[in-house]
């Protein structure tokens, strides 16, 4: 299943205000049912310089691409990583799967 990227500030604001939140050790996920599957990433400067932030975004996109087939229905989702020493696709994938099962997405 293909997903679309959230790009507009208004879409992010709507999710931050009206979306439900789910937490894991490495991620905060804000989600809301929608017409089509959309995903955005919000990452602050506390994670480091742009090279490190862009790497984290690439890892999150890959982890989401791998687990989105397990989701029931379509959602708008914002992924917010928590500050950590190391990041990996396997860790993000495991925590996304855990949130999907816990929240029954």
Segments making up each domain of the chain, as ranges: 4-103
Beta strand 27-33 with 4-5: parallel, antiparallel or unpaired? unpaired
Could you tell me if 37 and 3 are in contact, meaning their C-beta atoms sit under 8 angstroms apart? yes
- SS3 for 16? helix
pLDDT of residue 97: 95
Count of Cβ atoms closer than 10 Å to residue 95 Cβ: 21
pLDDT of residue 89: 96
* pTM given for the model: 0.93
**How confident is the prediction along the chain (105 residues), in pLDDT tens digits per residue?**
688 999 999 999 999 999 999 999 999 999 999 999 999 999 999 999 999 999 999 999 999 999 999 999 999 999 999 999 999 999 999 999 999 999 988
Please state, in angstroms and rounded to a whole number, the distance separating the CA atoms of residues 65 and 44: 22
Fold (topology level) of 4-103:
Ribosomal Protein S5; domain 2 (3.30.230)
């Amino acid at each position: 299943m293909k997903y679309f990227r959230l790009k507009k500030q208004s879409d992010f604001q709507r999710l931050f205000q009206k979306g439900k939140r789910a937490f894991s050790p490495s991620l905060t996920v804000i989600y809301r049912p929608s017409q089509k599957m959309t995903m955005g990433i919000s990452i602050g400067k506390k994670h480091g310089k742009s090279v490190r932030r862009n790497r984290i975004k690439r890892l999150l996109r890959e982890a989401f691409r791998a687990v989105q087939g397990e989701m029931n229905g379509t959602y708008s989702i914002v992924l917010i990583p928590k500050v950590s020493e190391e990041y990996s696709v396997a860790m993000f994938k495991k925590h996304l799967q855990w949130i999907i099962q816990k929240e029954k997405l």
